[in-house]
Amino acid sequence: MGRQAVILCGGFGTRLSHVVSDVPKPMAPVKNIPFLEYIVKQLQGQGFDDFVFLTGYKSEIIENYFKNLKNAKFIKEETALGTGGAILNAFASLNGDFYVINGDTFFDIDFSLLEDFGNGKSCTVALRYSNDVERYGFVDIDDNFHVTDFIEKGKLPQNRIDGFINGGIYYITKSCLNSFVKSFNGQFISLETEIFPQFIKDDELFGLPVGGCFIDIGIPDDYYKAQTLIPDWIAKEAKPALFIDKDGTLIENTEYPHGKDFKIIESTVEIVKQHFDKNYYVVMVTNQAGIAKDKFSFEQMYEGFEGIKDFYKSKRVEFDDIEFCPYHKDGIIKEYSYDSILRKPNSGMILKACEKLKIDLKNSLMVGDNTEIDNIKLPYLKCEILTEKERSFV
């Protein structure tokens, strides 16, 4: 049996109405193809073969377009029911477990990651990294990936610079909705603000950080951006990545190394070259607290990056991306004296790279030298810590 997608596509698209006014928002054209078709094709490519479209405004446009889609159902809400109400209204058509997907959001994730983690759990939310939590709000999770709180937009704590946001994809076990459907009388109910808070109280809501191209076409600027972003992304090849630490792994870990005065670690060269030759992306991920602590400048940091890249070019290896975290809560440069989920062992840098490169996270590898820092907080990412004996210098 394949996977079931329950697609929320009943909104009015008010903020987009002066740009696209004659179709429901999910049917807004992207390079002359309805946005919703990109989502359906993405899902079909990952084994989805059962589709439930929860429609509302101009539902006949969606129904006519997808009328020949195998195993498709269309359930229209006659009055606005909210995200939770629309799902409860379709309860009889839901499988034992299913995915809820926003019809106006493209988030190209590996659904098997969510499924492997969420198996046996009531509900798992796909989370993504964002440094724009003022726009979206953010989701707090603990070390076991339990969701502890949804922080509304505009209420960012002063000591935070970024966060995980709701990616608009949920993996749900149908039975966890039983109590809600029993009391549901066709009234408006929000999944995010009414059902999820109860799940949190019952310790039944989880959040899994995942990476991939993300765009919400709810505002005109992002809709215009989608015209090139989505077609370009679809054309890319998904490949695993070697995520590699810098200080202590690529180069000798002197105190706050920067600039071109560094020593390459010879054994790591072989690791990087082997993965590059196997067609892995190569991505450097490095904590750079020296910026926040005023130990070196951005110019000196970039000079070091270029020196490492030049050395590896001489070995016929190219870095596909470099991600760094300049933040540290004990910094003396005010602009960078924050907690950040970019900082390892948090997963921010990994997820940022996944929005630039089409990365197969399930088969990727993180290599570092520090057990506390380089074991990234992602349950699906393999991490390998090099011992001192495994490292030598040239």
Number of other CB atoms surrounding residue 158 within 10 Å: 5
Buried b / exposed e over 282-298, threshold 16 CB at 10 Å, is bbbbbbbbbbbbebbee
Contact status, residue 299 vs residue 257, Cβ threshold 8 Å:
no
Contact status, residue 251 vs residue 301, Cβ threshold 8 Å:
no
Q: Determine the angle formed by the axes of helices 35-44 and 220-234, rounding to 10 degrees.
A: 40
DSSP label of 175 = G
Q: In whole angstroms, give the CA distance from residue 272 to residue 114.
A: 29
Q: 3-class DSSP state for residue 211?
A: coil
Token pair of 187 as six digits: 């009234």
**Side chain identity at residue 383, one-letter code:** C
From 245, 321, 369, 374, active-site residue:
245
Q: In whole angstroms, give the CA distance from residue 310 to residue 232.
A: 29
| Helices and strands of the chain, counted as H and E runs | 13, 18
From 50, 108, 162, 247, active-site residue:
247
The β-bridge relationship of strands 3-9 and 48-55 is parallel
Task: Give every CB contact of residue 159 below 8 A, 6+ residues apart in sequence.
Answer: 329, 338, 339
Q: Quick one: 142 exposed, middle or buried, by C-beta within 10 A (0-12, 13-18, 19+)?
A: exposed
Look up 245 and say whether it is catalytic.
yes
**Side chain identity at residue 270, one-letter code:** E
Determine phi and psi for 79, rounding to 5 degrees. -130, 160
Q: Point out the residues that are catalytic.
A: 245, 247
